[in-house]
Amino acid sequence: MRNYEVLTALSGEMGLDIFKENPVDLVICDLAMPGMNGWEVGKRIRAICEGRGIKKTEFMLLTGWGGQKAEMEKMAESGVDVIIEKPLNIENMLKAVREVMKLGLKE
């Protein structure tokens, strides 16, 4: 179940460029980044999908800042489907990936 192709970016802008040029099923993004935070990346991903007339790509936000899971309104407006708190456990992360992808397939 670990047969994922992973595309990486060093910034939100770079991630958006990759997203625009490649088919992507899931975006995993850190919250705190220089230049553009994860909330903004989520908004832009959603806008790109809307502009293309396609279903929004599943979006997971990683954070070491506590309390972000309670930001339900912010999640909705940013297109964030799941928030994963750090430190990460790889098995829990893979479980969350499988769960969010199953949810996305049902729509």
Going by C-alpha positions, the residue among 45, 83, 42 that lies closest to residue 61 is 83
Whole-number percent of the chain with pLDDT over 90:
50
- Asked if residue 60 lies in contact with residue 85, where contact means CB atoms within 8 angstroms, the answer is no
Number of domains in the chain: 1
Query: The domain that contains 90 carries what CATH number?
Result: 3.40.50.2300
| pLDDT at site 66 | 65
Q: Domain for residue 7, yes or no?
A: no
Whole-number percent of the chain with pLDDT over 70:
87
Q: Domain for residue 42, yes or no?
A: yes
Name the residue range of residue 70's domain: 12-106
pLDDT class for 56, splitting at 50, 70, 90? very high
Angle at 5 between CA 65 and CA 101, to 5 degrees: 60
Q: Domain for residue 35, yes or no?
A: yes
